[in-house]
Amino acid sequence: MAAGARRGSPLTPEEIYATALRLVNEGGVEALSMRKLAAALDVNPMSLYHHVESKTALIDQICLTMAERLEIPVMDGAPWQERLRALGHAYRRLATTYPALWSYVHTHPELVAAREGGLWDVFLPILRAAGVPEDELLRTADVLHAFVTGLLINQQNGHIGSDRSPEAMDRMFETAIDLILDGLTARHSPAGRAGGGAADEARPAAPR
Amino acid sequence: MAAGARRGSPLTPEEIYATALRLVNEGGVEALSMRKLAAALDVNPMSLYHHVESKTALIDQICLTMAERLEIPVMDGAPWQERLRALGHAYRRLATTYPALWSYVHTHPELVAAREGGLWDVFLPILRAAGVPEDELLRTADVLHAFVTGLLINQQNGHIGSDRSPEAMDRMFETAIDLILDGLTARHSPAGRAGGGAADEARPAAPR
DNA sequence: ACCTGAACACCGTTCAAGT
DNA sequence: ACCTGAACACCGTTCAAGT
């Protein structure tokens, strides 16, 4: 067992990324070590350094592959309320699919490179449709993105609410979207409240 | 140099916590190691374990001492909008005083113990004054707390906005509070928009 | 009671040596 | 070209031994 101690193939980067992503998803980013990753791949730890520059670069890479998996809904005809809600749900789906790595990305400044690419191309037009003036657009987008990010981080950490059933989480997310829709409407198109429809219909009735 | 290799006193827990907090503030939580901490205290690494159960317990403790330093403003007579804004600013001040540890607390589920104690005693009455019905109170509080948390985490990580000047950060935080105030008003006391005053007066005029 | 050295089981990474 | 063992500088923590 000299050149080919490993079973079969010659260790592709894709294989490394996939296994690393699995380890992180199972045990958090702190559960990923080069030595454990090598063990999971049935390989000498040092072999990894032939395909990956460093542990940091590896984490960067799997953050990127995660970001690419954001499935942005296309709803060209729909009113902005529906589109914003759908975008929020898509974003939430990514976060719950990769809870550990997603939280990690959003709390580590050095990973700005992994900003969700296509997200803003869809997000900004929605805010324009909501009546946000151009000179407030970027700031509003940043704030709303931070709001949703914060909610998702808190939900994943169980830092929130006594009731942590999936239904309660869903309700809380809807409450958050509702608050955002109402805030946007009140600030930027107060006349349109009755006519919009989507926001009011989708808001779950409060049990009384 | 046997019993008293260390200069002077017999190593109090307070001294340990203070130094640990300083190290974390200077280099992030990942820069805190028992060995470095011992070096900073001019002590043998193993001596620490006589005063502290483990590194985890130590971090728990300094999170608690940070949480205790939240200076909650008392503004009993003021309208809820002003009180909410002041509370937001107090919270932000804590976050910016301990950026690394604050982010750490809010992304580590096991530290729920460090939830800001008196915060909720002030927060919930404000939301009641804003007209949030009792059966939505906790959920709304959680959502708003998560919103602000998300904004602060993002601001500290530079994950937000191209302009990172202090003024731009301030503006963004005000935008966030404004959005929250407008959302609350629209949802729970739509008639009171003109009369409230505080929210509208405090909102900075958009440069046109 | 308080401290400490050696030791154990982990890390990430370098580098010279192997095929 | 690709892999690898030994080694280095770090970790947190245990434990028996010191004063």
Q: How confident is the model at residue B98 (pLDDT cuts 50, 70, 90)?
A: very high
Q: How far apart are CA A128 and CA B83, in angstroms?
A: 31
- Mean pLDDT across the stretch A121-150? 95
Q: How far apart are CA A186 and CA B189, in angstroms?
A: 12
- Mean pLDDT across the stretch B184-207? 55
Please give the pLDDT value at position A114.
Answer: 62
What does the mean pLDDT of chain B come to? 85
**CA distances (Å), A40 to each of A25, A32, A56, A81, in order?**
14, 11, 19, 45
Q: How confident is the model at residue A161 (pLDDT cuts 50, 70, 90)?
A: low
Please give the pLDDT value at position B116.
Answer: 76
Please give the pLDDT value at position B194.
Answer: 40
If DSSP codes are grouped into helix, strand and coil, which group holds residue A8? Answer: coil
What does the mean pLDDT of chain A come to? 85
What confidence tens digit (pLDDT) does each residue in A36-64 have? Answer: 999 999 999 999 999 999 999 999 999 99
- Of the given ranges (A13-27, B60-74, B186-200), which has the lowest mean pLDDT? B186-200
Q: What percent of chain B has pLDDT over 90?
A: 68
Please give the pLDDT value at position B24.
Answer: 96
A145 touching chain B per CB within 8 A: yes
Q: Taking CB atoms and an 8 Å cutoff, what residues of chain A touch B165?
A: none
Query: A19 to chain B nearest CA, in Å?
Result: 24
Please determine, for residue A21, whether its predicted confidence score (pLDDT) is greater than 50. Answer: yes
Q: How confident is the model at residue A163 (pLDDT cuts 50, 70, 90)?
A: confident
Of residues B159 and B18, more confidence is placed in B18
- Mean pLDDT across the stretch A97-116? 83
If DSSP codes are grouped into helix, strand and coil, which group holds residue A191? Answer: helix
Torsion-angle region of residue B163: left (phi > 0), alpha (psi -120 to 50) or beta?
Answer: beta
B54 touches strand D (CB under 7 A): yes
Q: How far apart are CA B38 and CA B42, in angstroms?
A: 6
Q: How confident is the model at residue B207 (pLDDT cuts 50, 70, 90)?
A: very low
Please determine, for residue A8, whether its predicted confidence score (pLDDT) is greater than 70. Answer: no
Q: How confident is the model at residue B202 (pLDDT cuts 50, 70, 90)?
A: very low
Q: How confident is the model at residue A1 (pLDDT cuts 50, 70, 90)?
A: very low
Please give the pLDDT value at position A3.
Answer: 39
Residues in CB range of A19: below 8 A, 6 or more apart: A37, A40, A41
Across the interface, do A143 and B208 touch by the CB < 8 Å criterion?
Answer: no
Please give the pLDDT value at position B163.
Answer: 77
- Mean pLDDT across the stretch B36-47? 94
Q: What's the CA B39/C1' D18 distance, rounded, in angstroms?
A: 21
- Mean pLDDT across the stretch B172-177? 94
Q: How confident is the model at residue A32 (pLDDT cuts 50, 70, 90)?
A: very high
Please determine, for residue A80, whether its predicted confidence score (pLDDT) is greater than 70. Answer: yes
**CA distances (Å), A12 to each of A4, A45, B6, B34, B178, in order?**
14, 15, 53, 38, 50
Q: How confident is the model at residue A6 (pLDDT cuts 50, 70, 90)?
A: low
Please give the pLDDT value at position A116.
Answer: 76
Residue type, A144: L
Residue type, B89: H
CB-contacted nucleotides of strand D (7 Å): 2-6, 10-15, 18-19
Q: How confident is the model at residue B95 (pLDDT cuts 50, 70, 90)?
A: very high
Q: How many CB atoms within 10 Å of residue B198?
A: 16
Please determine, for residue A31, whether its predicted confidence score (pLDDT) is greater than 90. Answer: yes
- Mean pLDDT across the stretch B14-19? 94
What is the nearest nucleotide to A2, using C1' and CA?
C19
Q: How far is CA A95 from the centre of its chain?
A: 4
Cβ under 8 Å to B: A residues 78-117: 103, 106-109, 112, 115
Q: Which residue of B has its CA nearest to A172?
A: B139
B149 touching chain A per CB within 8 A: yes
